[in-house]
Amino acid sequence: MDTDLVASRMAALGNPTRLAAYRLLVRAGADGLPVAGVQERLGVPASTLSHHLRRLCEVGLVQQERRGTTLLCRADYAVMDDTFEWLSDECCVDGAATGPSAARTNAACRSTHGRATKAPGKRPGKKTTKKRATKRATTKRNTVKR
């Protein structure tokens, strides 16, 4: 991912009003919220909110859709995930050593941050959903040697 793109997204979230609006939209889920609902909850003037939402849209964090006279806003969860995964992908990588100390570094990273370190530039696999984990467990049970 482009560093400048991540920086622009972070800069957009660096304003307290935009961060509050984005957080509200993330909490709203896939249905999103109408601009009027965001304005009501945040208590900011319409022109100010319009400016802040436009900035979030410019960097791709928020998507807007017009339905009749209502303008719906939604957080783009894929963009959010990509942005924050890009930041956390290389957590503690520079501290990771080779040999016996690498295991200690991985363990320290897991206990501190809840994740293991990995090689730079490699993206983590998909998160295991409960459904996928259940399917794997079922498959393992069915393939056990008898």
CATH topology of domain 3-80: Arc Repressor Mutant, subunit A (1.10.10)
For residues 120 and 93, what is the distance between their CA atoms, to the nearest angstrom? 7
- Where exactly are the structural domains of the chain? 3-80, 90-142
Name the pLDDT band for 88 (thresholds 50, 70, 90).
confident
Name the pLDDT band for 102 (thresholds 50, 70, 90).
low
Model's pTM, two decimal places? 0.67
Q: What percentage of the chain reaches a pLDDT higher than 70?
A: 64
* Per-residue pLDDT at 97: 55
